Amino acid sequence: MSKFGTLVMGPAGAGKSTFCSSLIQHLRANKRSCYYVNLDPAAEDFAYEPDIDIKDLISLEDVMEEMGLGPNGGLIYCFEFLLENLDFLTEPLEDVTEEYLIVIDMPGQIELYTHVPILPTLVKSLTRGSLNINLCAAYLLEATFIVDHAKFFAGTLSAMSAMLMLEMPHINILSKMDLVKHTVAKRELKRFIDPDVGLLDDDPSRKLAFEQPGDSADPDPAATQNVMAGASFQRLNRAVAQLIDDFSMVSFLQLDVQDEDSVSAILSYIDDAIQYHEAQEPREPMDAVDVDMGE
Ligand SMILES: Nc1nc2c(ncn2[C@@H]2O[C@H](COP(=O)(O)OP(=O)(O)OP(=O)(O)O)[C@@H](O)[C@H]2O)c(=O)[nH]1
Ligand SMILES: [Mg+2]
């Protein structure tokens, strides 16, 4: 029996929990079963009650109080504790059947995705062994990041870092599109959907020091005036952006949680990535709809 799921990740406040709720709402409206797992030990309020909540194992508040740790160290402690007590997560998941979509809501601390090897271990235990869940990562980045082009590339890099670290099917999502769709032209938006390095040159908020009159064609990044003017930093930024652009490693889907079609489109990408529909039993038309046959 196969199992299917999505791991919803991204920086703090990117809209992960909101996306999980709208995904669950959409699944329910379409008579699909879903199994909601909260792995954020600091999360308090839920639109839908989680089927598994890490807080029943360990809460960030208790860890911070008892271990004298801050929020980030506390979170790492919670995940290490979860890895030592994986049965808490894996045992209930054993019974989840193939028609379910397992929706896993992750915390927003970025170091979890980039610095520490906790997540790859967790993902391996979910995707291999007896559970063998077909899992797709959904990495959310806030659309408002596009206001500052360098910040957008930094966010893109964090998405890429998670993608390379986890080695699993992965989609990137620009969330909160409602906040930018009336201010950014469609043509301009396209350059963020498939990130284009030229964005760094066009950023009105950051004038490129290299392009000041009198600069030589190939300035020395180590020269004091270039370092002081931020020119070396700009050059590094551009090299990193060029790498993302050259390899077409990252592209984004657009999410507007208020728009049912947008949530539905993202779900279809997830379904494709995990081959959800291929594993479902064909249903008789009569199963799907209750038909009143009359007397
Ligand atoms: N305008 C708008 N606001 C949103 C959207 N999605 C989330 N928000 C708001 O953004 C804030 C953060 O949303 P969450 O869903 O809690 O984000 P999160 O990624 O789960 O946050 P953490 O778990 O704390 O990392 C909340 O105030 C939401 O109401 C969206 O699509 N549009
Ligand atoms: Mg959340």
For the chain, count helices (H), then strands (E). Answer: 13, 7
Integer Cα distance of 151 and 141 in angstroms? 11
Q: Torsions phi, psi of 206, nearest 5?
A: -135, 105
Please write down the long-range contacts of 144-151, taking CB distance under 8 Å and 24 or more positions apart.
Answer: 144/176, 144/179, 144/180, 146/174, 146/180, 146/184, 146/189, 146/192, 147/180, 147/205, 148/203, 148/205, 148/206, 149/199, 149/200, 149/202, 149/203, 149/205, 149/206, 150/200, 150/203, 150/206, 150/237
Buried/exposed 94-111: b ≥16 CB within 10 Å, e otherwise:
eebeeebbbbbbbbbbbe
Q: What is the DSSP string of 102-127?
A: EEEEPP--THHHHT-THHHHHHHHHH
Report the amino acid identity of residue 267. L
Residue 122 φ/ψ, nearest 5 degrees: -60, -45
CB 234 within 8 A of CB 206: yes
Rg of the Cα trace of the chain?
A: 22
Contact 105, 48 (CB under 8 A): no
Give the Cα separation of 104 and 168 in Å (integer). Answer: 15
Ligand closest to Cα of 11 equals 1
Pseudo-torsion of CA 16, 83, 59, 90, nearest 10°? 70
Residue nearest to atom 30 of ligand 1 (CA): 176
Residue labelled with tokens 């910040």: 151
Go through the chain and tell me how many residues it has.
Answer: 295
Which atom of ligand 1 sits closest to the CA of residue 255? 31
What pLDDT does residue 240 have? 82
Given the structure tokens 């699944």, which residue do they identify? 27
Answer whether 22 contacts ligand 1 (Cβ < 6 A): no
Per-residue pLDDT of the chain (295 residues; tens, 9 = 90+): 799 999 999 999 999 999 999 999 999 999 999 999 999 999 988 999 999 999 999 999 999 999 999 999 999 999 999 999 999 999 999 999 999 999 999 999 888 887 788 999 999 999 998 999 999 999 999 999 888 888 888 898 889 888 888 989 999 999 999 999 888 888 888 888 888 878 877 766 555 444 444 455 566 777 777 777 777 777 887 888 888 888 777 899 999 999 999 999 999 999 999 999 998 877 666 555 454 544 4
Task: State phi, psi for 134 to the nearest 5 degrees.
Answer: -75, 105
- Which atom, in ligand 1's list, is nearest to the CA of 175? 31
What residue owns the CA closest to ligand 1's atom 21?
13
Tokens coding 196: 């284009």
Residues surrounding ion ligand 2 at CB below 5 Å: 16-17
Q: Which domains does the chain carry? A: 3-194+251-278 (3.40.50.300), 196-247 (no CATH)
Residue 247: how many other CB atoms lie within 10 Å: 9
Ligand 1: atom nearest CA of 12 is: 25
Residue having the nearest C-alpha atom to atom 3 of ligand 1: 176
| Phi and psi, residue 59, nearest 5° | -115, 145
| Cα 108 to ligand 2 centroid, rounded to whole Å | 7
State residue 20's pLDDT score: 98
